[in-house]
Amino acid sequence: MGAAMDDAQPIVTRFAPSPNGAMHLGHAFSAVFAHDLAAQAGGTFLLRIEDIDGARSRPEHADDFRRNLEWLGLEWQEVPAQSTRLKSYEAAARKLLERGLLYPCICTRKEIEEAGAQRGVEGVLYPGTCKGKPVDPSKPAALRLDIDAALCEVGELVWTDEVAGSVVVDLSDFGDAVIVRKDAPASYHLAVTMDDAADGVTLVTRGKDLFNATHIHRVLQELLELPVPHCHHHGLLLDDDGQKLAKSRGSPALSDRRQAGEDGLLLAEKLRLQKLKGDI
Ligand code: GLU
């Protein structure tokens, strides 16, 4: 059974960027937020490079994140990147597979979307097409969590969000989540859950856009007997049109601002005020 964290232990937070692109303002907010929560409590702020996506991750982006954190005036301890932890993900996935909690799925994203459209469901909620069926072994397969079987094992679960309070696990938006990707030995869900435990993270901070992912992480904590950290899902920085800031929408890369001579310490202060003003 996943163990609750001891409230008296020193706080450990982390910033866990995926080096798939340049660091932008939303990342900077997340980093300052996690850093300050640890610093205010005399705790530890970690940096973990989440480079599980071998095809898209670039070391130069990881370096860009480090340079920008320094420019923002943050101090951190760096823990090993995900690419160095693949064996531990494989071992955990193997155990879940042996317990009958995972099954192979060869569906493509397009097929899942089409199946959803036929049922009038938008997006990529997986309808369980491959569950309980033999799959063509010549096709690349992901491994999905059999949510029904998992919930039978773990029963009703709760997790704690610093803003939302006590949250009951609700997997209705998930379907059978991918635990092992076709092209990597773990999905985001498996890797981040195991890493937060391995790194001793006591307070997971991330944007509200990932709030629902925490339900699946809570189930994995229970199945893998990992400690249960508290969470703090923060609001997202919005651009002038009220849209979430994203690189794809032209939010300037932080390194452009740094190289243009902007004061990083001042920017970090502005981000702190933004939080206090409730602009997010
Ligand atoms: N690597 C994830 C991202 O950049 C981190 C998410 C998390 O903090 O759990 O979105």
DSSP state of 88: H
Nearest residue to 99 (alpha-carbon basis) of 146, 155, 169, 157: 146
195 CA from centroid of ligand 1 (Å): 12
216 CA from centroid of ligand 1 (Å): 14
Q: What is the pLDDT of residue 2?
A: 61
Q: What is the pLDDT of residue 142?
A: 96
What's the token pair of residue 119? 């049922």
- Which helix H or strand E contains 102, and what residues bound it? strand 102-105
65 within 8 A of 27, measured Cβ to Cβ: yes
Q: Is 164 in the pocket of ligand 1 (CB under 6 A)?
A: no
In angstroms, the CA 193 to CA 223 distance is: 11
In angstroms, the CA 95 to CA 83 distance is: 20
Q: Which residues contact 172 (CB under 8 A, 6 or more apart)?
A: none
Strand 12-15 relative to strand 44-48: parallel, antiparallel, unpaired? parallel
Nearest residue to 69 (alpha-carbon basis) of 13, 29, 21: 29
Give the pLDDT confidence of 188-233 residue by residue, as tens digits: 999 999 999 999 999 999 998 899 999 999 999 999 999 999 999 9
Q: Is 206 in the pocket of ligand 1 (CB under 6 A)?
A: yes
Stretches where the chain sits below pLDDT 70 are 1-8, 116-124, 239-251, 275-280
What's the token pair of residue 54? 């071998």
Q: What is the pLDDT of residue 18?
A: 96
**φ/ψ of residue 11, rounded to 5:** -75, 135
Three-state SS at 105 = strand
In angstroms, the CA 189 to CA 172 distance is: 16
Nearest residue to 230 (alpha-carbon basis) of 88, 50, 37, 42: 37
In terms of phi and psi (left: phi > 0; alpha: psi -120 to 50; beta: otherwise), the region of 155 is: left
Q: Which atom of ligand 1 is nearest to the CA of 50?
A: 1
Q: What is the pLDDT of residue 250?
A: 58
In angstroms, the CA 167 to CA 47 distance is: 27
233 within 8 A of 161, measured Cβ to Cβ: yes
Q: Which atom of ligand 1 is nearest to the CA of 207?
A: 8
Tell me the best of 188, 189, 199, 247 to mutate to test the pocket of ligand 1, counting ligand atoms within 8 Å of each CB and taking the most. 188
Q: Is 195 in the pocket of ligand 1 (CB under 6 A)?
A: no
Q: Is 17 in the pocket of ligand 1 (CB under 6 A)?
A: yes
pTM value?
0.91
218 CA from centroid of ligand 1 (Å): 16
Q: What is the pLDDT of residue 240?
A: 57
17 within 8 A of 56, measured Cβ to Cβ: no
Helices marked H in 41-160 — which ranges? 59-71, 86-98, 109-118, 147-154
Q: What is the pLDDT of residue 54?
A: 86
116 CA from centroid of ligand 1 (Å): 26
Residue 239 CA to its chain's centroid (Å) = 22
Q: Which residues contact 196 (CB under 8 A, 6 or more apart)?
A: 14, 204, 217, 229
Strand 102-105 relative to strand 142-145: parallel, antiparallel, unpaired? antiparallel
205 CA from centroid of ligand 1 (Å): 9
Q: What is the pLDDT of residue 15?
A: 98
Q: Which atom of ligand 1 is nearest to the CA of 206?
A: 8
Q: Give 3-state DSSP helix, strand, coil % of the chain, rounded to 5.
A: 40, 15, 45
